[in-house]
Amino acid sequence: MGRFMARNLAKGGHTLTVFDTHKEAAEELLSQGASWADSPGSVAAASQVVFTALPRPQDVEAAALGDSGILSGAEQGVAYFDLSTTDPDTIHRIAAAAKSKGVHVLDAPVSGGVSGAEQATLCIMVGGNQSVYTSYKPLLELIGEKVLYCGEQGMGAVCKIVNNLINLGNYVLVSEALTLGLKSRCPDRNHV
């Protein structure tokens, strides 16, 4: 999903500096003019705003707080948006470490899947400093059509978790309803 979001930022006229643990994943962006950095910290050193979209909270924490992580290279005033689905505790730990450097951390998990990332139709749920959010909302609108300010630090993560739980509940309800419907129409109701 990250490369599609990055592609949409580039389409919006922004210059990108990128890093991925697998450089081949960034080849498309590099061929379109993005610059390569050797670490998340190098990306931050070259950037006014940094985005991450990673699979697990541990990956987010390592990318932000690791030896060559975002905070190792970020200057005061840099804004860091984590687009991953993570938990509020992880975001709070990262934000606490960033505060002493004057780096703004916003949790901004996305919903809408790969197709939403590709078509820039994601829903982005943002938690953190509202004035920083407002300053960068035009960037977020390049990757999502529903950009929502959810409140203080961690509230974007909370909203995404609630969204996932509602979706999971809906899947269970539909499954049960279909099973019930099939049972009511099937002569041998024990084999549905």
Hey, which residues are catalytic here? 160
Measuring CA to CA, how many Å separate 77 from each of 3, 70, 98?
A: 25, 13, 10
Which residues are within 8 A (CB) of 42 and not within 5 positions of it... i.e. 6 or more apart? 17, 19, 68, 73
| Residue 17 host element (H or E) | strand 17-18
Q: What residue spans of 16-87 are helical by DSSP H? A: 27-31, 40-45, 57-65, 70-73
Helix (H, G, I), strand (E, B) or coil at 127: strand
Q: Determine the Cα–Cα distance for residues 115 and 96; give it in Å rounded to an integer.
A: 34
- For residues 106 and 80, the answer to whether their CB atoms sit within 8 Å is yes
- For residues 127 and 155, the answer to whether their CB atoms sit within 8 Å is yes
- For residues 104 and 132, the answer to whether their CB atoms sit within 8 Å is yes
